[in-house]
Amino acid sequence: LDVQSGNQKEAVENLKRNVTVFTKAKDSTKLGTTYLLLGQSASFSGFYTIALKNYYKALDIHEKQGNNYRMAEDLQSIATIYQEQNEVDQAIETLERSHELFILEEKKQAQAQIQTILANLYTSKKDFDRAEKSINNAFILSKDIGYDNGTSRAHRAMGQLKIGQGQYEEAIVHYKESLDFQNERDIYDISSIKRKLGEAYVGNGQYKLGLRYLDESIALSDSMNYATVLENAYFQKFIALEKLNKHQAALEYYKMAKKISDSSFSIEKQNKIEELKTIYETEKKEAAITLKDEEIKTLSTQAENDKLTKTIYGIGMFSFLAIAGLTFFGFKQRLKKNKIERD
């Protein structure tokens, strides 16, 4: 709940306590889920290195359990991090592994989601054939289970593909279809679709219609503080106003887009510093625990050695006394014998 509500600091503290508890209890199921949640919390905060570390810990546990569904979820989360870091090939490879596992588990909704993500990644590489194939797969899967949001995402992915190919009229058709299938409660997705629809109209030379959808996207994004969507909408509005020769107004929107971009860069830079500090503190604690364990092992070894030394010493003393006793007994017997001979 803390992760979902955005209370990341408290979430991390609670989850770390859970790691200790579940490790001692040897409860691998709950431990795997805890590492997955730690990864999500780090990802929300922009700590991608820490997120990957925890996701891979979750994946390792679920692999040992042979839990295909959880492994698929872990891999999907890992791919999201690679996507955020623009490691497109790594993201594609990881998503394909996740998709194979979801097929084994017959999870069609998850398969549809992955197909649209793959389509967008292929489009970014200008691999339009594979992108279109993934989109068509998403359409089939979504239709098969009546998954409207999946159909909406597939139309959106097709719109992105058509923009990549410069086919703006076809992109507009798909973005409108995407809006029709989109759940009205998903404000982020709606604002994002309207921003893309505005971009398609601007690309098609229909600047006034483009501005209309961009303004609607800006209103939604601003009210919900969706910085990325807002930045892109401002930039598209700058382009539209420039085309309409409204240079002064265009400049204002360019400045607004740049301000968000600079702020995002500053936050990203600060997040990186915080992440490095967190990694340092974590590694320091882990090193201290390892050192403590080594000290305990050393002391245990010393104790065993001391015990062995005392045992050997005891055996040695017993042997010495026994031999000395026998020697003394023999010596006494010889004295006795000599005395008898003299008598």
What does the alpha-carbon distance between residue 12 and residue 2 come to, in Å, rounded to a whole number? 9
Percentage of the residues of the chain whose pLDDT score is greater than 70:
74
What does the alpha-carbon distance between residue 138 and residue 29 come to, in Å, rounded to a whole number? 31
pLDDT, position 56: 95
pLDDT, position 227: 85
What does the alpha-carbon distance between residue 85 and residue 74 come to, in Å, rounded to a whole number? 17
Contact status, residue 76 vs residue 105, Cβ threshold 8 Å: no
pLDDT, position 299: 58
Residue 96 CB partners (closer than 8 Å, separation 6+) = 118
Which of the listed ranges 217-231, 280-294, 318-332 does the model predict with the highest average pLDDT? 217-231
Residue 278 binned pLDDT confidence (cut-offs 50, 70, 90) = low
More confident residue, 263 or 126: 126
pLDDT, position 103: 97
Give ∠ CA 191-193-195 in degrees, rounded to 5. Answer: 70
pLDDT, position 277: 61
pLDDT, position 311: 53
Residue 77 binned pLDDT confidence (cut-offs 50, 70, 90) = very high
Residue 43's Cβ-side half-sphere holds a number of Cα atoms within 13 Å equal to 24
Nearest to 58 by CA among 95, 32, 94: 32
What does the alpha-carbon distance between residue 332 and residue 328 come to, in Å, rounded to a whole number? 6
Question: Mean of the pLDDT values across residues 296-312?
Answer: 57
pLDDT, position 183: 87
What does the alpha-carbon distance between residue 58 and residue 72 come to, in Å, rounded to a whole number? 11
pLDDT, position 12: 79
pLDDT digits (tens, 9 = 90+) for 151-162: 999 999 999 999
Contact status, residue 162 vs residue 174, Cβ threshold 8 Å: yes
pLDDT, position 228: 85
**168 pLDDT above the threshold of 60:** yes
**137 pLDDT above the threshold of 70:** yes
What one-character-per-residue DSSP string does 58-113 give? HHHHHHHHT-HHHHHHHHHHHHHHHHHTT-HHHHHHHHHHHHHHHHHTT-HHHHHH
Contact status, residue 41 vs residue 8, Cβ threshold 8 Å: yes
**280 pLDDT above the threshold of 60:** no
pLDDT digits (tens, 9 = 90+) for 181-221: 998 888 999 999 999 999 999 999 999 999 999 999 999 99
pLDDT, position 16: 86
More confident residue, 319 or 261: 261
Question: Mean of the pLDDT values across residues 30-44?
Answer: 87
**331 pLDDT above the threshold of 60:** no
What does the alpha-carbon distance between residue 267 and residue 225 come to, in Å, rounded to a whole number? 15
Q: Which of 57-71, 112-126, 296-310, 319-333 shows the lowest mean pLDDT across its residues? A: 319-333
Residue 341 CB partners (closer than 8 Å, separation 6+) = none
Helix, strand or coil, per DSSP, at residue 34: helix
What does the alpha-carbon distance between residue 123 and residue 164 come to, in Å, rounded to a whole number? 7
Computed over every residue of the chain, the mean pLDDT equals 83
Question: Mean of the pLDDT values across residues 139-160?
Answer: 97
Residue 11 CB partners (closer than 8 Å, separation 6+) = 2, 3, 37, 41
SS (H, E, C) 171-222: HHHHHHHHHHHCCCCCHHHHHHHHHHHHHHHHHCCCHHHHHHHHHHHHHHHH
